[in-house]
């Protein structure tokens, strides 16, 4: 099954200061009929969360202003039932697991392919839909 089919009804927010990543993912999602809103800073992401509900949030770790982990901590005050994915080439899954505090559900290391990211999102949403009670209790990547 195409992993895009598992996220086609999901509203996704991407926060990344890299324009190429934002544009590439926006086009990939658009061509598959998936909703993706992109912003380039954590502050813009928080503003988007005030105005919209998202099922999935993807954030880079290194951002201007606050980092992705701090963003997810603040985002939790707006939405507690989102699937949160951190992307980064600067932090390891082990380090993330130590600093996570339960706000990030999975991690994708940069560089990544669209397929890798979408498969991660599809698997994460399946876990969330099938086991909501335990979903917010642990970091999937650990």
pLDDT tens per residue across span 125-136:
887 777 655 555
Residue 117: domain span: 3-128
CATH number of domain containing 20: 3.40.50.2300
CA distance 64 to 121: 25
Tens of pLDDT along the chain (142 residues)?
Answer: 789 999 999 999 999 999 999 999 999 999 999 999 999 999 999 999 999 999 999 999 999 999 998 999 999 888 778 899 999 987 766 666 666 666 888 889 999 999 999 999 999 888 777 765 555 554 555 4
138 part of a folded domain: no
**Is residue 45 in a domain?**
yes
Domain count within the chain: 1
pLDDT in the model for residue 28? 97
pLDDT score of 51: 94
Classify residue 139: in a domain, yes or no.
Answer: no
Residue 83 CA to residue 101 CA, distance in Å, equals 15
């Amino acid at each position: 099954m195409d992993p895009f089919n598992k996220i086609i009804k999901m509203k996704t927010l991407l926060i990344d200061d890299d324009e190429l990543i934002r544009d590439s993912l926006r086009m990939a999602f658009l061509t598959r009929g998936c909703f993706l809103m992109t912003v380039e800073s954590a502050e813009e992401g928080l503003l988007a969360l005030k105005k919209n509900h998202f099922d999935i949030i993807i954030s880079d770790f290194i951002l201007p202003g606050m980092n992705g982990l701090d963003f997810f901590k603040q985002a939790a005050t707006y939405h507690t039932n989102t699937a949160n994915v951190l992307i980064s080439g600067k932090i390891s899954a082990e380090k993330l697991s130590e600093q996570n505090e339960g706000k990030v559900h999975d991690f994708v290391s940069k560089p990544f392919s669209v397929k890798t990211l979408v498969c991660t999102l599809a698997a994460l949403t399946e876990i969330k839909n099938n086991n909501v009670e335990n979903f917010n209790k642990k970091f999937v990547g650990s």
